[in-house]
Structures are given as C-alpha cells and as structure tokens.
Amino acid sequence: MTTAAIAPEQLTKRVSPAAAVRHTATLAWRNLVQIKHNPMELVDLSIQPIMFVLLFAYVFGPSMTGSVKAYLPVVIPGIIAQNALFAGMSTGFGLNSDLTKGVYDRFRSLPIARSAPLAGRIIADTAKQAWSMFILLAVGFLIGFRIHTNPIAVVGAFLLLLGFAILFSWTSVFIAMKVNEPEKVQIFGFVVIFPLSFLSTAFIKSTRGIPDWLAWVIRNNPVTQLVEAMRGLLLGGPVLSHAVVALAWGLGITLIFAPLSLRAFKKRA
C-alpha cells in the first residue's frame, strides 16, 4: 500500500487506543514470524545461551569453586542476566535494520499508530528474551542446577529480568536511531555490555582479593544488583534491596534515553 492509495484524512487522523494496541500486536507478531524465514535468529536465541552455559560451567567451574555443581548457582543467574542485556541489543539492531531498508517508510504510509512499529519491536524482543531465559534454565537443570525457591519466585525472576531488559533496551534504541548501519549497534553492545557484565558478580562468588576501588565498582554495578536479585529469587536470599536498586538504575536509564530515542525516532522515521 502506498500513500497515494490512502486518503489524507486517514494519515492525519489519530487512531484509538484499542486500534493502537491491535497495530502493536500485529507488528510484534510480524517480528516473531520473521524467525521462520531467518532460522539463524533462532540459533542465536537458543544455541548461544547453551554454549555460554556449558563453556563457563565446565571451563571455569572447577577452577572457580572446585566443581561444576558448586559453580552452577553462581553462573546460571549471571549468564541469564548477561544474555538478557545482549538480547536487548537486538531491539536496536532490528530497528536500525528496518530503518535503513526503508521498512519504516512503508509503515508511515499506513494508517496505523505511529508508536506501533517501535512498541511492536520491543514486545517481540521481550518474548525472545523470555525464550532465552527458559533455555538457560532448562540447560542448567540438565547439568545439575536446581531452583531452591517456589514457582512464584521463579515468575518474579522472569518479570524482574524482562522489566530490567526493557528499561535497558532504550540505550540500544537510541543508538539505533543515531547510526546508519545495524552492525554499529552490535559494536555498542560489545563495548558496553561486556564491561558491565564482567565487572559485576555475574561470574564470581565474592569480591574478596579484588582491589578496593574495583570492588566498589562491582558492588555498585546495576548488573550486580540484577544478578543478586535473580540469585535470591531462584536460590534464596536477599531480593528486595537488590531488585529496587536494579530497577532504579533501569528507570534512570529510561528517563534519559527514552525521550532522546523518541525524539530521534520522530526525526528519522
């Protein structure tokens, strides 16, 4: 459909909230259905998390804690958190790809809610993150990881992880609006997420033996707060204080990057 086939009043008329929800759901489904035509995306969502679990557990586990089984309670929540942040980068990658290929120009010619393409992308990527977390827990269970809490706590872990990932994904959305190639969004992910995840307690049990200044950075890292909250929800231990700090970090990131992203989105799309 082109702009020539649509009446001017259709393009300027505001859609109802119910119609905006339908448009968002349709575009979210479009992004999920694309996996069928691009099987490599499913590989990234499934094989990469499995590879990370097996490599960290069997390579680092014996040297870090003396055995694979003892290391699993440390590394599984950490890898789940790291994987969620990397999955959030796919939001920016997909947005930039649609922008550079002219897909959003086609969306602009349709009588749909202007927020639907962006919201649909974020919702679809949230579903992908949930799938990745399920895969990580399943693989961890197969090699010896056990959850020591209850189903309600596990659901809480899912919600906390997805909530933080959505808030953090605004950084990738902003970068996607500013660069002209999807690969540059991936570069941003490596430059930011690797330091954030490795300068946290995602893969270590404590900060003992680490220089004081670096230990301070690790303790106050938002990823550390997210990982510790995840460990509490899956294994037992403090949850509320870590979850509040992690979400506060996420809200701060959103308050900064969401307005900037939306402004850049209006200019570019």
Across the range 256-268, mean pLDDT stands at 82
Per-residue pLDDT, 268: 64
Predicted confidence (pLDDT) at residue 58 exceeds the cutoff of 50 = yes
3-state secondary structure the chain: CCHHHCCHHHHHCCCCHHHHHHHHHHHHHHHHHHHHHCHHHHHHHHHHHHHHHHHHHHHHHHHHHCCHHHHHHHHHHHHHHHHHHHHHHHHHHHHHHHHHCCHHHHHHCCCCCCCHHHHHHHHHHHHHHHHHHHHHHHHHHHCCCCCCCCHHHHHHHHHHHHHHHHHHHHHHHHHHHHCCCHHHHHHHHHHHHHHHHHCCCCCCCCCCCCCHHHHHHHHCCHHHHHHHHHHHHHHCCCCHHHHHHHHHHHHHHHHHHHHHHHHHHHHHC
Across the range 27-54, mean pLDDT stands at 77
The band of 148, judged by pLDDT with boundaries at 50, 70 and 90, is: very high
Per-residue pLDDT, 160: 93
Across the range 165-189, mean pLDDT stands at 83
Across the range 3-16, mean pLDDT stands at 50
Q: What is the pLDDT of residues 78-127, one digit of tens each?
A: 998 888 888 777 777 777 877 777 777 777 777 777 778 778 888 888 88
Mean pLDDT for all residues in the chain = 83
Predicted confidence (pLDDT) at residue 12 exceeds the cutoff of 50 = no
Across the range 64-71, mean pLDDT stands at 86
Across the range 60-79, mean pLDDT stands at 88
Q: What is the pLDDT of residues 211-249, one digit of tens each?
A: 999 999 999 999 999 999 999 999 999 999 999 999 999
- Of the chain, the end-to-end C-alpha distance in Å amounts to 17
Higher pLDDT, 156 or 91: 156
The band of 7, judged by pLDDT with boundaries at 50, 70 and 90, is: very low
